[in-house]
Chains A and B, each alone.
Chain A
């Protein structure tokens, strides 16, 4: 039995007076694809940003393999090197070429020589289908292309788990397909992924587990079949009926 990649215990996070995450606990096993769904403002993105310590949890513990990353003396930078994050707004480095966007982390953070980093960067770009665009700059790319480069950039750091924060929410509908295809490919290659998304079709197809979040806590979780076909909770049923009506 492989040990979990991520263990989250009683995670709590507030902003000012508002408690955004109210004691969330779950585990992520190796090569598992978890999709977190829920209405806006239920703390899904905040949860993800707590996982790689972009926000500091107020209470609770997070374990990355054996290391407790919420302990006070942890090196946050080293933790973030092991988790890849893909953002809704892409956040590509605008002053760098596509190749250097992927390579800069390898060179500056991992200390790789430039030639080796360039080769590895091209490999990751090929993985997402962007190798032909290596010399372009982010401003010259479409949204879907930018997001694929964002995925390559995160992959370049050899992460143990990939975190996706609504990766297709800022894209035109025609462009979401290319990004979802890359994500599906990563899943079949065995990447451990935690994805916050509204793409129910993707969740049905690719997720091993779906977590439905409501008001800052986990209302229900299970396989896609369980959640989408046989939801146990009333709130889950209400949410899904709203989604299906669209």
Chain B
């Protein structure tokens, strides 16, 4: 009984120590996801509807970035960015994650756009919409709904990849867990509690996004 109480106290102490890291992790993840979403949507439209140059650029970006491990991208972008702009490791890491996620989201949005029946574009042109307007008003709103399940998955992946920014010294959850593990000599407690937090965040974010999906779902 005594040891169980001690264990619980240690757990709560660890929770409190790791908590600031939670805030950083969530922030990095959110920035990366939003950035990736913007890049992904634009690149996907370029890939599907662009001229030869636009398609090639988007294709290159998508293939090359997806072929490189995210941690390598983080390192490369960190050293590249620090040459030109004075960015904190936090922003640098978030931008790198966003840049990487954008490549995967390009493919998600591309698949979603291609799944929209071709008759939708034909009908939009039929009432006199230009191509850009048709993409914006008819195709993308439907593609977004189709993409949501895959995007929910991407949220989970980016959340986990956010742990990689520890390599450039961002004090997110994993970094703090490492400190805690080193100072308390209790790796299981430190990393176990971190894992608990990751599970909690994934669960919460997924539930929120599923609620959003329900709100916007229309049977097709």
Interface residues of B in 132-179 (CB under 8 A from A): 133, 137-138, 141-142, 145
Q: Which of B32-40, B69-77, B89-97, B117-125 is found at the contact surface with chain A?
A: B117-125
Residues on A with C-beta less than 8 A from B138 are 93, 95
Contact with B along A177-218 (1 / 0, CB 8 A): 000000000000000000000000000000000000000000
Are A81 and B128 in contact, CB atoms less than 8 angstroms apart? yes
Are B145 and A95 in contact, CB atoms less than 8 angstroms apart? yes
Q: Does A87 contact B (CB under 8 A)?
A: yes
Smallest beta-carbon distance A70→chain B, Å? 17
Are A80 and B125 in contact, CB atoms less than 8 angstroms apart? yes
Are A87 and B122 in contact, CB atoms less than 8 angstroms apart? yes
Residues on B with C-beta less than 8 A from A139 are 218-220
Are A54 and B123 in contact, CB atoms less than 8 angstroms apart? no
Residues on B with C-beta less than 8 A from A52 are 126
Given the interface contacts A94-B142, A95-B142, does A109 sit within 8 Å of B127 by beta carbon? yes
Q: Does B15 contact A (CB under 8 A)?
A: no
> Quick one: closest B residue to A49, CB to CB?
B122
Distance in angstroms between the alpha carbons of A95 and B126 in the assembled complex = 17
Distance in angstroms between the alpha carbons of A75 and B24 in the assembled complex = 52
Distance in angstroms between the alpha carbons of A139 and B219 in the assembled complex = 6
Smallest beta-carbon distance B102→chain A, Å? 25
Are B126 and A108 in contact, CB atoms less than 8 angstroms apart? no
Are A87 and B119 in contact, CB atoms less than 8 angstroms apart? yes
Given the interface contacts A139-B218, A139-B219, A139-B220, does A105 sit within 8 Å of B128 by beta carbon? yes
Q: Does B130 contact A (CB under 8 A)?
A: yes
Smallest beta-carbon distance A119→chain B, Å? 18
Size band of the interface chain A makes with B:
20 to 34
Question: Which of A78, A80, A140 touches B126 (beta carbons < 8 Å)?
Answer: A80
Question: Which of B122, B133, B219 touches A108 (beta carbons < 8 Å)?
Answer: B133
Smallest beta-carbon distance B113→chain A, Å? 14
Are A94 and B127 in contact, CB atoms less than 8 angstroms apart? no
Size band of the interface chain B makes with A:
20 to 34
Residues on A with C-beta less than 8 A from B122 are 54, 87, 91
Are B220 and A94 in contact, CB atoms less than 8 angstroms apart? yes
Are B129 and A89 in contact, CB atoms less than 8 angstroms apart? no
Residues on B with C-beta less than 8 A from A54 are 122, 125-126
Q: Does A50 contact B (CB under 8 A)?
A: no
Q: Does A121 contact B (CB under 8 A)?
A: no
Q: Does A154 contact B (CB under 8 A)?
A: yes
Smallest beta-carbon distance B65→chain A, Å? 30
Question: Which of A77, A81, A89, A104 touches B119 (beta carbons < 8 Å)?
Answer: A89
Smallest beta-carbon distance B188→chain A, Å? 49
Residues on B with C-beta less than 8 A from A85 are 123, 126
Contact with A along B2-43 (1 / 0, CB 8 A): 000000000000000000000000000000000000000000
Q: Does A137 contact B (CB under 8 A)?
A: yes
Are A95 and B128 in contact, CB atoms less than 8 angstroms apart? no
Smallest beta-carbon distance A205→chain B, Å? 27
Residues on B with C-beta less than 8 A from A81 are 127-128
Residues on A with C-beta less than 8 A from B120 are 91, 93-94
Q: Does A7 contact B (CB under 8 A)?
A: no
> Quick one: closest B residue to A78, CB to CB?
B128
Question: Which of A94, A137, A157 touches B128 (beta carbons < 8 Å)?
Answer: A157
Are B127 and A157 in contact, CB atoms less than 8 angstroms apart? yes
Distance in angstroms between the alpha carbons of A12 and B158 in the assembled complex = 54
Residue contacts A-B, CB under 8 angstroms, 21 given: A52-B126, A54-B122, A77-B128, A78-B128, A80-B127, A82-B128, A87-B119, A91-B117, A91-B126, A93-B123, A94-B142, A95-B138, A95-B142, A105-B129, A109-B128, A109-B129, A109-B133, A137-B218, A137-B219, A139-B219, A156-B127
